[in-house]
């Protein structure tokens, strides 16, 4: 008398086939599940340039903002804004003085002679 019964090989193939069939059915359900694409966020880059001379005669401020968004279908919206601000004395080539300087009646070509 044998206490352990062996399963015929045909039953093993059948059960393996059932597992394969169940895995295939589960895979189809996963693929057919609705997936919603996450909307892409805006990419924002910014910078600020501040320049000032030691004697405070000239100050420059230049903020820059760049925006970018992927609209899908190989379309990209991008925008870059720059503001350039310069304050202070105008460059005239003269030596810095402690009193106001006035240039009248002379053209640049006359100054170079």
- pLDDT at 15 (0 to 100): 65
Q: Is the pLDDT of residue 79 over 70?
A: yes
**Does residue 33 lie in a domain region?**
no
**Does residue 81 lie in a domain region?**
yes
Contact 66, 44 (CB under 8 A): yes
**Does residue 17 lie in a domain region?**
no
Residues spanned by the domain of 57: 40-89
**Does residue 51 lie in a domain region?**
yes
Tens of pLDDT, residues 31-68: 555 656 667 789 999 999 999 888 777 888 999 999 99
Nearest to 79 by CA among 68, 70, 90, 88: 68
**Does residue 49 lie in a domain region?**
yes
Q: How many domains does the chain have?
A: 1
Neighbouring CB atoms inside 10 A of 88's CB total 13
> Which residue do the tokens 């059932």 mark?
18
> Which residue do the tokens 């039953």 mark?
11
Average pLDDT over residues 100-110: 68
**Does residue 19 lie in a domain region?**
no
Q: What is the pTM of this model?
A: 0.45
28: left (phi over 0), alpha (psi -120 to 50) or beta: alpha
- The structure tokens listed for 90 are 């105008």
**Does residue 109 lie in a domain region?**
no
């Amino acid at each position: 008398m044998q206490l352990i019964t062996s399963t015929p090989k045909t039953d093993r193939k059948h059960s393996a086939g059932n597992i394969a069939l169940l895995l295939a059915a589960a895979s189809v359900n996963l693929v057919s599940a609705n997936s919603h694409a996450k909307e892409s966020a805006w990419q924002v880059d910014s910078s600020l340039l501040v320049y000032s001379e030691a004697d405070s005669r000239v100050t420059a401020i230049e903020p820059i903002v760049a925006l970018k968004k992927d609209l899908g279908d190989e379309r990209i919206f991008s925008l870059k804004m720059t503001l350039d601000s310069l304050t202070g004395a105008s460059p005239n080539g003269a030596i810095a003085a402690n009193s106001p300087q006035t240039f009248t009646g002379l053209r640049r070509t006359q100054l170079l002679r």
